[in-house]
Amino acid sequence: MQVLVLQTSLRGADSASRALVDTYLNTLQAHHRDVTITVRDLASQPIPHLPAALIPVQLGLSEGADESAALAEELIVELERADIVVIGVAFYNFMISSSLKAWSDYVVRVRRTFVYGAEGPIGLLPAGKKVIAFMASGGVYSAGPAAAMDLAIPYLRTIFGFIGITDVEVVRAEAQADPTAGPVALDRALEAARLFA
C-alpha cells in the first residue's frame, strides 16, 4: 500500500491536523505490513506558486524542461503511485493553506490527470484511490451557522474529483480555538483517525 502524505500546518508539534495524521499512520503501520509512506511537508518545504513557465506544460502544449517541470512531474508521479492520499489540513481563512493550493496547481494537468470529453471533464488518475483529509479548525463548520464558510472541504472534493478521486473521507478536529471544547473534539477525532486505519 502506497500512502502519500501532504502536511500543511505551520504549527509543528502543536498542530492538531499533524497529530491526526500521525495517529492514522501509526495505526495503519501497526495493522498492515506493506505500507510505504511518502511525505510532502508543504509547510516546512513549500513548493513555489505555479510559475509562468508551467502554463504550457499544464495545458498539455509542452513537456517543459526547467526545474518547475521536473517538480510537477515528481508531484504527479507521487500522486499516480499513491493508493491513499492523507492530508493534514490546517484551516486557514476559511480555506486550505496556500501551500496545498500551490500543490494542486502542479498536479492538475491536461491529458495527464484530466481531460475534457464530450460530456465534460474526465479525471485520468487510476481508479480506486482514496483521499483522507484530517482537518483542524479554530471554529465549527461541520454544522451550524458557519457551515457555508467552510470552503476547504468543498474545494478538496472538487479538485480531487476533477482528476478522478471521488472517494474523499473527512475527519475534523473542530473548535480548536475553544479551550474546553477543543481538546474533547481532538480526542474524538484522534479516535476516528485510529478507526480509519
Ligand X SMILES: Cc1cc2nc3c(=O)[nH]c(=O)nc-3n(C[C@H](O)[C@H](O)[C@H](O)COP(=O)(O)O)c2cc1C
Does the footprint of ligand X cover residue 31 (CB under 6 A)? no
Residues in region 154-193 near ligand X by CB under 6 A: 176
Binding region for ligand X (CB under 6 A) out of 8-16, 44-52, 57-65, 67-75:
8-16
Q: Are strands 114-117 and 120-123 parallel, antiparallel or unpaired?
A: antiparallel
Instruction: Name the minimum Å distance from CB 133 to ligand X.
Output: 12
CB nearer to ligand X: pick between 94 and 162:
94
CA distance 89 to 13: 14
d(CA 2, CA 85): 9
Can residue 92 be called a binding residue for ligand X (CB under 6 A)? yes
**CA-wise closest residue to 35 among 43, 25, 44:** 25
Binders of ligand X among residues 71 to 90 (CB under 6 A) are 90
Q: Which of 4, 6, 17, 84 binds ligand X (CB under 6 A)?
A: 17
Q: Give residue for cell 480526542.
A: 187
- Give the residue ranges of the annotated binding site for FMN: 9, 15-17
Residues in region 130-159 near ligand X by CB under 6 A: 136-139
Give the residue with the Cβ less far from ligand X, 16 or 47. 16
Q: What is the DSSP letter of 54?
A: G
Q: In the complex with ligand X, which residue's Cβ is closer, 92 or 155?
A: 92
What's the rounded Cα separation, in Å, for the pair 110 and 123? 10
Query: Which of 109/172 has CB closer to ligand X?
Result: 172
Instruction: List, in sequence order, every beta strand (DSSP E) within the chain.
Output: 2-7, 36-41, 84-90, 114-117, 120-123, 130-136, 168-173
How buried is 45 (Cβ within 10 angstroms: 0-12 exposed, 13-18 middle, 19+ buried)? exposed
| Least Å from the CB of residue 11 to ligand X | 4
Q: How far is the CB of 85 from ligand X (least distance, A)?
A: 17
Q: Is 65 or 148 the residue whose CB approaches ligand X more closely?
A: 148
| Grid coordinates belonging to 157 | 472534493
- CA–CA dist 178, 184 (Å, integer): 10
Report, in Å, the least distance between residue 177 CB and ligand X. Answer: 6
Instruction: Give the footprint of ligand X on this chain (CB under 6 A).
Output: 9, 11, 15-18, 90-94, 136-139, 176
